[in-house]
Structure 1
Amino acid sequence: ELGLLTVSWVASVAIIFGGVVPYIPQYRDIRRTQNAEGFSTYVCLVLLVANILRILFRLGRYFETPLLWQSIIMIITMLIMLNLCTSVRMATELNTKRRSFTATDSKDEEIKVPKRLFLDFDWNYFWSWSRFVDYLQCVLAFMVLAAYVTYLLLDSVLFVESLGFLAVFTEAMLGTPQLYCNYRNKSTEGMSIKMVLMWTSGDTFKTGYFLLTQAPMQFWICGLLQVCVDFAILFQVYYYSRYPQKPISHTTHTTSAKAL
C-alpha cells in the first residue's frame, strides 16, 4: 500500500512539473545571453491557449487533479517566459536604435522605440507587443471570452468533448513546426537533440499516465499523437545524418518552436 502510494505521488509530481522542465534551461540561457531570438513566443501562445481550454474542459468533464495543476503551472511558466522575452527584446531594440543613432551622429535626438500595444488591435503586431502587460491583457480577454462561451454551452456534451479535444490537440501539435522545418531544410542542423529526447521521454511518460489513470479519451489519443511526432523528428535526425541532403552550413541554424 505504502509503495503504491509513493509511486502514485511521484508520478503526480512528475506530471505536474515535468512539462515545464525543458523551459528552465531556455530561461536561464536567455537571461545569460540577453538574447531571445532563438525562442518563439508563439510556443507560449499555443501552450497558454491549450492549458486555459483544458482547465475549462474540467468544468464539464472531470479529470485527475494533477493534470489540472499541470495546466496552472504551465500557464504561470509561459507568462514568466513572456515577461523575460519581452524585456530582453525591447532592450535589444533600444540598443540597436542607440547604435544607429551613434553611427549617424544623432546623439542629441531622443531615442524612442515604437510601442506596439494590444489595445491598438493591430493584427500586424499580434503577439509582438512592447509590454508584458499587453500579453496579460490578451490572455485575460481570451480567458473571459472562453469562460463565457463555456458557461453558455456547458450542458452540451458535444461542446465539452470538442473543447477537451481542442485543448490537448493544440498542445500535441507543438512539435509539427519543427518537423516541417526539418523536412523543408532537409536537415536537422541547429536543432537540440537533447531537447527532443526530453520531449519524447516526457510525452511517453505522460501518455502512459493518461492510460493508467483512465483520463478522458482526448488526452491519451493526443498524447500518442505527440509521441509519434517526437519519434518522427528523431527519425529525421537519423535519416538526415545518415543520408545528407545538402552541404552542412555553419552559419544557418534552424530553431525549434517547441524546443526553444
Structure 2
Amino acid sequence: MYLHKRVIETIGEEAGSVPGAVSDAAPTPSAPATVSDTLSAYLPRVDQFYIPEWLTMQFIANNLISFTPLFSYGSTVISIERCQTALGFSIDICATMLIASVLRISYYLITPYEITLLRQSVVMVLIQLVLLRTSLRYRPEEYKYGNLKQVESLRELVWEIWQEFFDVTGEGHSHGHAHGHLHKQPSAFALLRTLSFKRAALLCYKIGLAFVYKFLKFFDPGYQRVWAFWQWSDDRTFWRFLGVFTSLQLLLTFLISKVLDWEELAQWLGSVIGSLGLLVESLLPLPQIAILYTLKSVQGFKLILLVSWLCGDTLKITYLVFGAKNISVLFFLFAFFQMSLDFYIAGQYIYYKFYYPKLRNQGGFRDADIEIELTDIVRDQIMEPVQSQEGSVDMAPVRSTHSAGHNSARASPPVMTVAQSL
C-alpha cells in the first residue's frame, strides 16, 4: 500500500497535478521548516554559484606569503617619496634582501622547494629594486662615502694588542746601537712561547674581539667600508654590482646543476648557497640598529616594516620546527639570531619613540650617561689594560675610545701602512 501511494505521488508531481488529484491518499505529516533548514539548503547554492572553487584558504595563505613584501616595503617607498628623503632608512636593507633573494632563487635550481616561497623571492627582488632606486634618488649627503667616518684597520688593532703584550717599540734597536752592536727583534713565534697559558688565552681573546669589532663596524652605515661597498657615490655602481652578481650566481648554479649534472657538487653548492642566504638575511637588522642609534630617532623607519620582520621570523621558525625535515642546526641558529636582532630593534623603536624625547627634556641629561654603543663596548674590551706577569698593569698602549682624535694618536706599526684598511 505504501509503495502504491509513493508511485501515485511521483506521477502526480511529474504531471504537474495539484495535491487534490490524489485525494484518496492521506497527507503525510511533515515538520515545519526551520531557519537552519533554510540556510543549510541555501548555503550549498552559495558555495556552488558564488564562491569559486579555486578560492580556498590555501590559495589565500600562499598569496599572502608571496605578496607580503609589497605591503611592508611598499609603504617605505611611499613614505620616502612623500618626505623626499631617505634619512633614517638604511639602504643596506636593500643589499641584504637582494643578495639573499638571489641566493634563494639560485638554490631553487638545485633543490626545488615550494613555489610560494620562490614567488615570494621574485616579488622581494622586484620591490627591493624599486626601494633601492627611490632610496638612491633621495639619499642624504650624510650617507655619501666621503662624508662617513673612518674606522681603524684590522692591522692597526692587532698591532696595538701586540704592543700590549710584547716590547716591540724599537727600544732594543737603539740600545744596541749605543753599545756598537744590533739586537735583532725575536720572531713572533719566539715571543708567543714566552707567554704563559693565561696570557696567551687573553691575547687570543683580544684578537678575536678585534675581528668582532671590525665585523660590527662593517655593518655600521656611519663608517667607511672596504672598497666603499654599498656606499658608492655613483648610483650606477649599485646596478652594475647587482647585474654582475645575479648573472654570475645564476649562471654558475645553472651550469653545475643542469648542464654538467654533477650531483655531488650540486648538493654541496646547494648547502653552501642555502646557508649563505640564511646568514645574509639574518644580518638584515644590523645596519638599521646602527642607524637608529646614530639618529636617536625612528624617523624614516616604518612600524609596518618591523612588524613584517617579526611576523616573518615567527613563520620561518614555525616552518623549521614543524614543517621542514632534515634541517641543519645552522638554519635554527640563523633564524633565532635574526629574531633576537629584530626584538632589539623593537626595543629601540619603543625607546626612541616614547621614552627618549622625555629624557632629553629633563635637565642634566646626556646621551653618554645612559647609552653605550655595542662597538664601543667591544673596543673598550680590546683596549683594557693587561696585567703583566709580575702583577703590574701595562698602561702604555691603552687609550680612551671616546676621546677626540684617537685615530691620530695611535702608534703606527712598522712595515705597515697605517692608512691601509683591510
Report if TM-score (shorter chain) is over 0.5: yes
Q: What is the Cα deviation at residue 206 of structure 1? A: 4.0
User: Larger Rg: 1 or 2?
Assistant: 2
Equivalent AA in structure 2 for residue 29 of structure 1:
S
Corresponding residue SS for 2:104: helix
Corresponding residue SS for 1:190: coil
Is 1:158 aligned with 2:268?
A: yes
Q: What is the Cα deviation at residue 36 of structure 1? A: 1.7
Partners of 1:64 and 1:215 within 8 A in 2: no
Q: What is the Cα deviation at residue 214 of structure 1? A: 2.7
Equivalent AA in structure 2 for residue 139 of structure 1:
L
Q: Distance in 2 between matches of 1:241 and 1:80?
A: 28
2:56 is aligned to: 6
Corresponding residue SS for 2:89: coil
Higher RCO (C-alpha 8 Å, min separation 6): 1
Q: Distance in 2 between matches of 1:126 and 1:241?
A: 28
Equivalent AA in structure 2 for residue 199 of structure 1:
W
Residue by residue, what CA displacement relative to the aligned partner does 1:14-49 show, whole Å, maximum 9, x if unpaired?
A: 211123422222111111121122222211111111
2:309 is aligned to: 199
Q: Give the direction of change, closer, same or farther, for the CA distance of 1:209–1:239 in structure 2 (3 Å limit).
A: same
1:18 is aligned to: 68
Q: 1:62 aligns with which of 100, 103, 112?
A: 112
Q: What is the Cα deviation at residue 239 of structure 1? A: 8.3
Q: Give the direction of change, closer, same or farther, for the CA distance of 1:59–1:39 in structure 2 (3 Å limit).
A: same
Partners of 1:63 and 1:216 within 8 A in 2: no
Partners of 1:56 and 1:150 within 8 A in 2: yes
Q: Distance in 1 between matches of 2:290 and 2:141?
A: 32
Is 1:230 aligned with 2:342?
A: yes
Q: What is the Cα deviation at residue 51 of structure 1? A: 0.5
Q: Distance in 1 between matches of 2:361 and 2:90?
A: 22
Map 1:110-259 → 2, pairs under 5 A? 123-124=227-228, 126-131=230-235, 133-151=236-254, 153-154=256-257, 155=263, 156=265, 157-179=267-289, 189-190=297-298, 194-195=303-304, 196-209=306-319, 211=321, 213-214=323-324, 217=327, 221=332, 222-234=334-346, 247-248=359-360
1:98 is aligned to: none
Corresponding residue SS for 2:56: helix
Q: Give the direction of change, closer, same or farther, for the CA distance of 1:127–1:235 in structure 2 (3 Å limit).
A: closer
Q: Give the direction of change, closer, same or farther, for the CA distance of 1:216–1:179 in structure 2 (3 Å limit).
A: farther
Q: 2:97 aligns with which of 47, 50, 63?
A: 47
Q: What is the Cα deviation at residue 232 of structure 1? A: 3.9
Unaligned 5+ runs, structure 1:
94-121, 253-260
Q: Give the direction of change, closer, same or farther, for the CA distance of 1:205–1:67 in structure 2 (3 Å limit).
A: same
Q: Distance in 2 between matches of 1:61 and 1:226?
A: 24
Partners of 2:66 and 2:116 within 8 A in 1: yes
Corresponding residue SS for 1:22: helix
Q: Percent identity?
A: 25
Q: What is the Cα deviation at residue 83 of structure 1? A: 1.6
Q: Give the direction of change, closer, same or farther, for the CA distance of 1:46–1:92 in structure 2 (3 Å limit).
A: closer
Q: Distance in 1 between matches of 2:94 and 2:353?
A: 30
Paired residues, number: 218
Q: Give the direction of change, closer, same or farther, for the CA distance of 1:92–1:67 in structure 2 (3 Å limit).
A: same
Equivalent AA in structure 1 for residue 93 of structure 2:
V
Equivalent AA in structure 2 for residue 190 of structure 1:
V
TM-score normalised by the chain length of structure 2: 0.43
Q: What is the Cα deviation at residue 188 of structure 1? A: 6.9
Q: Give the direction of change, closer, same or farther, for the CA distance of 1:13–1:249 in structure 2 (3 Å limit).
A: farther
Partners of 2:89 and 2:291 within 8 A in 1: no
Equivalent AA in structure 2 for residue 19 of structure 1:
P
Q: Distance in 2 between matches of 1:9 and 1:23?
A: 22
1:27 is aligned to: 77
Q: Distance in 2 between matches of 1:37 and 1:48?
A: 20
Residue by residue, what CA displacement relative to the aligned partner does 1:50-85 show, whole Å, maximum 9, x if unpaired?
A: 100111111111111111111111111111112222
Q: What is the Cα deviation at residue 220 of structure 1? A: 5.8
Equivalent AA in structure 2 for residue 87 of structure 1:
R
Q: Distance in 1 between matches of 2:340 and 2:351?
A: 16
Corresponding residue SS for 2:85: coil
Structure holding more helix per residue: 1
1:36 is aligned to: 86
Equivalent AA in structure 2 for residue 74 of structure 1:
M
Q: Distance in 1 between matches of 2:351 and 2:115?
A: 40
